[in-house]
Amino acid sequence: MTVDFYEAYHDSNFVASPYTGSRHNRGCAVDLTLIDLKTGKELDMPTPYDDFTPQAAATYANVSEKVRKNRQLLQDVMLKHGFVIFPSEWWHFDFEGWKAYPVMDLSFEDLISTHY
């Protein structure tokens, strides 16, 4: 699946090469957003997830105050827990030191059947 995604976009600002391994292939990256626990709905963020535009940048300035606060809350929590912000994607965070971990090649089926 990551090969298909990379072959479709070939933009290393947004899609890592599966041939050399990525932060995700090392189990050291997470893509996420925030939800309202009462409604289950996503909070307003600068763009939808996997938006490949300049507005997706983690520091893109032309956003509403509400969106800025939501994005800042997400960033503050992730930074507090040892993650670093990926500059071109507000939703993507890397675990600090991700380069030290080996590249894994697991299928979704392997992930589901493995209990950590």
pLDDT in tens, 2-29: 677 677 776 666 676 767 777 877 788 8
pTM (2 d.p.): 0.76
pLDDT band at 109 (very low <50, low <70, confident <90, very high): confident
pLDDT in tens, 49-82: 889 899 999 999 999 999 999 999 999 999 999 9
pLDDT at 85: 95
β-pair partners for 70: none
**Domain residue spans of the chain:** 27-96
Scan for tokens 């939800």, then name that residue: 35
Amino acid at 11: D
